[in-house]
Amino acid sequence: MEYVCKPKEEGGLGLRNLEEANKVSCLKLIWPILSSKSSLWIQWIHKYLIRQGSFWSIKETNSSGSWIWKKLLKLRPLARDLSKMEVNNVETVENTYRRRRLRNPVLKQIESEILNLQELGLSQSDDNCRWMRENGEFRTEFLTSQTWNLIRVHAPRVSWFKGIWFKESTPKFSFLSWLAVHERLSTGDRLLKWNPQANSICWLCNTAMETRDHLFFECSFSAEVWRGTIRGLDGVSPSVHWPALIRRLVTGSSDLLHTFLLRYCFQAALYAIWFERNKRRVGKAPQAATRLIIFLDRLIRNRISFLRKKAGNKYEKTMEIWFGSR
């Protein structure tokens, strides 16, 4: 999926694209070369590879250096856009440079900068190499996370990520919910696209085509499980329609503990129903909706008990809210 290597806010899993991560790692190697960091490796680079020139003037066709050095040279256009040199010590320029008749516009711009520096006067401080930040400013340090954000391909921010990724969720529940949001579960309607002879009828109610929206929770069986689990947490008649449920998870409640229970119940119910559906699909004995409701009640109470021990008083009243909704 194209969304896997995107931040969670953009609909992904928060994994790093290997190509982008490798590019950032190479830029991080370029940074000490430009900033003249005093390490044995940098000294060796300047003595045997850069020599009398500069990092910018070396030809890519040069046979010197390893494959990683050639990789760094290829990234110079990107590094040039992300870095700049702050010239502070202009003593050499002051003493040696004289105005010339230049035709090349780039050289004219360089000359203009040199003349401006001469007018500003001398400075004994060292030149500083600066690296770009996300806000467009240049600072004297390299930040990997911000550099990655500068070079990666961004995607639009999704509205539903808060309802799927939240603190103290169960990872396998959140992952399954993420797949469901992207409609990547192998439901009946998707199976038909791969195999026109596949059985596309809902395995829980045996009355309608199995789609994501039907399975969560318009199906009579899954609706009973959902309403039996959520009960008084979300009003008298909680919605069973997917778009409305996702909006409800995003907005949450004014009470953080109530919001946590609402989101956790959704993901736990989704996971239990998908597990029950798969069991029936491979021929195992079906469970009644009441049995699943009892299972989910026990699962959620166990989660609350764990959080009360782990997080101190933060989740102390969660069990009280849960029992109050029964």
Phi/psi of residue 70, nearest 5 degrees:
-65, -35
Q: What is the pLDDT of residues 15-46, one digit of tens each?
A: 989 999 999 999 999 999 988 777 888 889 88
Section 171-188 average pLDDT:
96
Section 297-307 average pLDDT:
95
Confidence class of residue 125 from pLDDT cuts 50, 70 and 90? low
Among the residue ranges 28-42, 51-65, 70-84, 147-161, the one predicted with the least confidence is 51-65
Residues 61, 62, 65, 70, CA torsion sign: negative
Share of the chain above pLDDT 70, in %: 87
Residue 147: predicted pLDDT: 96
Confidence class of residue 234 from pLDDT cuts 50, 70 and 90? confident
Section 191-205 average pLDDT:
93
Confidence class of residue 104 from pLDDT cuts 50, 70 and 90? low
Domain ranges, ordered by start, for the chain: 18-84+130-151, 88-126, 161-324
Confidence class of residue 108 from pLDDT cuts 50, 70 and 90? low
DSSP string, 224-273: HHHHHHHTTBTBSS----HHHHHHHHHH--SSHHHHHHHHHHHHHHHHHH
CB atoms within 10 A of CB 198: 13
Nearest Cα residue to 147 out of 21, 24, 16:
24
Per-residue burial over 229-238, b if 16 or more Cβ lie within 10 Å, else e, is bbbebbeeeb
Higher-confidence residue of 99 and 62: namely: 62
Residue 46: predicted pLDDT: 86
Confidence class of residue 53 from pLDDT cuts 50, 70 and 90? confident
Residue 326: predicted pLDDT: 83
Q: What is the pLDDT of residues 248-300, one digit of tens each?
A: 999 998 899 999 999 999 999 999 999 999 999 999 999 999 999 999 999 99
Residue 103: predicted pLDDT: 61
Residue 172: predicted pLDDT: 97
